[in-house]
Structure 1
Amino acid sequence: MVKPILKWAGGKRQLLDELYSRFPESYSHYHEPFFGGGALFFDIEPDNGTINDTNTRLINFYKQARDHPDELINLLQSFDDPESDPDSNRRFSDTNRKGKEIKNYYYQQRELFNNRPHGDEYDELEEAALLLYLNRTCYNGLYRENSSGGFNVPIGRYSNPDWVREDEIRKASRVLEDTDIRNTGFEYITEVAEEGDLVYFDPPYKPMSSTAYFTDYSAEGFGKEDQEHLRDVAQELNENGVNVILSNSGVMYEIYDEAGFHVEVEGATRSINSDGDNRDEVDEIIATNITPEERQRAGQQGLADF
């Protein structure tokens, strides 16, 4: 079992037992089209399959962790404490692009990270290192982009933040070695998933209320039509003999129930919330086409027939 490297909104570490209880007795390849922090993937440590996310910088991070772990770790080890003074030898040591004062090292790193959406040249390895650094030092580990695609989370308050994550990177590099890492829409799965494979969908959730914005980890969002299209893709996979497990917010119960999936409500505590003292349990569904009779026996957690 490998720990996820990144904190990520909607992480599934607290839902792992419930997800495993829906696994089939055996499956061939494992696919995760909405990867995020990859809690289930890293817990399974599959030998092959695909992972995907539409967040280009997130996918770049996993590719760098897989292909260049030593270089990534070395670069992370060269970074300073977020509260320290900016590096005078790098860009944005005084002001950001808009002329606003850069007060500390964190905000300089954030401005350097945002080279990609602003059209500047960027280095993929450095961008990956900056993503992990910001993820471990920003406010509450939140990933959020503005409408222009720029990361805009303020600095967090940590006594001894670990942004190197050497052990996690090395283990993740090993697990990802034979994994096809993609940066595209979730529809790709209809072309690669074969009969007997297992697909886990963990899309950006439809908000439980008008004040909840679980889709705002990227500038694009994930709306009603996307949710319905995902349901249709899940149905297509079911017709092709692919094992499907999907998690979503409780308000999505009906559309999967009506589509013929086995749907149950589970409670899940949000791991990321703007109010750290208000991480209440919210209703979440798990939908699957795997019947109770086809599911693995208790105690088989994480085993697959590759």
Structure 2
Amino acid sequence: MAKIPHLVQYQGSKRNLAPEIIRYFPDKINRIIEPFAGTCAVTILSAYEKKGDKFIVNDINQPLIELMRECVNNPERLYQSYKKIWEGQFLNGEDNNTYFYKMREQFNAGDHEPAKMLFLLARVVKGAIRYNSQGMMNQSCDKRRFGTKPDVIFENAIRISELLKGKIEFYSLDYKEIFEIAKSGDLVYLDPPYQGTSNRKNPRDNRYIQGVDFDEFVDSLYKLSCKGVNYIVSYDGKTGDKSIGKLLPDELGLTHLYINAGPSAQATLNGKNEITYESLYVSKGLVRKSDRYQQLCFKFA
């Protein structure tokens, strides 16, 4: 079986967990909506598995959403532009790390060309974009590698375009505006910035261009429920015996499950062998009896 295409490594992407997440998608879906789309891992897998044929993706990080728009609508142009930028790091005897910082400086000055965003994502440490308090990208480059080769970008971009072109709408709005678009019959998958990454006193976190307030998010989910829209939320979780963040309230009527996200990188660095479980909150109408049984087994194991 062919590998599921993905454009670039991106910290926080649900690419590895997407097969478990889409298990809870209903058989009949009007539109699949991702208000916090990132690099669209769940949308791409949903299209590959024919879970839907109409998609709405949104991310408040506009350069990121423009990158995905270019990938879907103009994959060959994205490839050619990326190839030119990628090859530039080996020309004129310039140190390739210095070249990265020159590209980052141009991006922060307002040059948000999709291929430039892609190059920066391909070269930052752990695929993890970081921002300072002024919203400027400030993550360092990974000195051990040169970024994804253009031919790999080309292959994946073409395949993503084949899956999604003509079936997808792109937005860069506040997530609450996307909630207004959702209707009964749609399926909304939410992967917001996790708790501890933002609050009212510090709305910007270096991991995200903009954070999400917990109470506002809960209120917005209530409104989505009142509209009769089914949704699934990836949100925090637990590592070992340590819970991360507040649970979403029972009053939302969601079923709370856990997905094994693998060994905790931080615990491994500290010499511990602990597994991270990510919370998955699912509209109850989407959960089968067998899934509820698995939930109980996990809870009381």
Deviations 1:133-152 (A, max 9, x none): 11111222111111122111
Contact 1:25 1:294 in 2 (8 A): no
The aligned counterpart of 1:75 is 81
The 1:221–1:254 alpha-carbon spacing in structure 2 relative to 1, beyond 3 Å, is closer
Which residue pairs with 1:137 in the alignment?
Answer: 123
Q: Distance in 1 between matches of 2:92 and 2:158?
A: 29
Conserved? CA contact 1:149–1:219, under 8 Å = yes
3-state SS of paired residue (2:249): helix
Q: Does structure 2 conserve the Cα–Cα contact (< 8 Å) formed by 1:136 and 1:163?
A: no
Q: Distance in 1 between matches of 2:66 and 2:45?
A: 21
Q: Residue 201 of structure 1 is aligned with which of 187, 190, 201?
A: 190
CA distance in 2, matches of 1:153, 1:21: 35
Q: How does 1:6-85 map to 2 (within 5 A)?
A: 6-45=8-47, 46-80=52-86, 84=90
Q: Deviations over 1:141-186 (max 9, x none)?
A: 1111111221111121345632421111112223332211000011
Residue of structure 1 in register with 2:139 after alignment: 153
Task: Tell me how far apart the structure 2 counterparts of residues 252 and 22 of structure 1 sit (CA, whole Å).
Answer: 23
Partner of 1:286: 280
More helix by share: 2
Return the alpha-carbon distance in structure 2 between the equivalents of residues 199 and 294 of structure 1.
Answer: 22
Question: How far has the Cα of 1:66 moved from its partner?
Answer: 2.4
Q: Is the contact between residue 24 and residue 295 of structure 1 (CA under 8 Å) also seen in structure 2?
A: no
Against the structure 1 CA distance between its residues 281 and 275, is the aligned structure 2 distance closer, same or farther, given a 3 Å change threshold?
closer
Range that drifts further, 105-114 or 193-202: 105-114
Alignment coverage as a number of residue pairs: 270
Give the TM-score, by structure 2 length: 0.77
- 1:241 is matched with which residue? 228
Q: Do the aligned residues in 1 keep the contact of 2:97 with 2:141 (CA within 8 Å)?
A: no
Task: Return the alpha-carbon distance in structure 1 between the equivalents of residues 282 and 83 of structure 2.
Answer: 43
Amino acid of the structure 2 residue aligned with 1:220: Q
The whole-number CA distance in structure 2 between the counterparts of 1:191 and 1:79 is 39
Q: Show the counterpart of 1:301.
A: none
1:162 to 131, 135, 148: 148
- 2:6 alignment counterpart: 4
RMSD, matched Cα: 3.5
Residues 245-302 of structure 1: CA distance to partner in whole angstroms, max 9, x if unpaired? Answer: 111002456333242211123332489x689967963232111113334999xxxxxx
Read off the aligned partner of 1:137 and give its amino acid letter. Answer: R
In structure 2, runs of 5+ residues without a counterpart are 198-203, 238-243, 292-301
The corresponding residue for 2:207 is 217
Task: Please say if 1:180 is aligned against 2:182.
Answer: no
Q: What corresponds to 2:241 in structure 1?
A: none
Secondary structure class of the residue paired with 1:77: helix
1:267-282 aligned at under 5 Å gives the runs: 267-269=260-262, 281-282=275-276
Aligned with 2:247: secondary structure? Answer: helix
Gaps of at least 5 residues in structure 1 are 94-101, 117-121, 209-213, 297-306
2:36 touches 2:59 (CA, 8 Å); kept in 1?
Answer: yes
Decide whether the 8 Å contact of 2:133 with 2:205 is kept in 1: no
Report the CA distance shift for 1:21/1:249 in structure 2 as closer, same or farther (over 3 A): same
Does structure 2 conserve the Cα–Cα contact (< 8 Å) formed by 1:23 and 1:295? Answer: no
Measured in 1, the distance between the counterparts of 2:12 and 2:79 equals 26
Q: Residue 16 and residue 103 in structure 1: after superposition, are their counterparts in 2 closer, same or farther (change >3 A)?
A: closer
Q: 1:270 to 1:52 in 2, by over 3 A?
A: farther
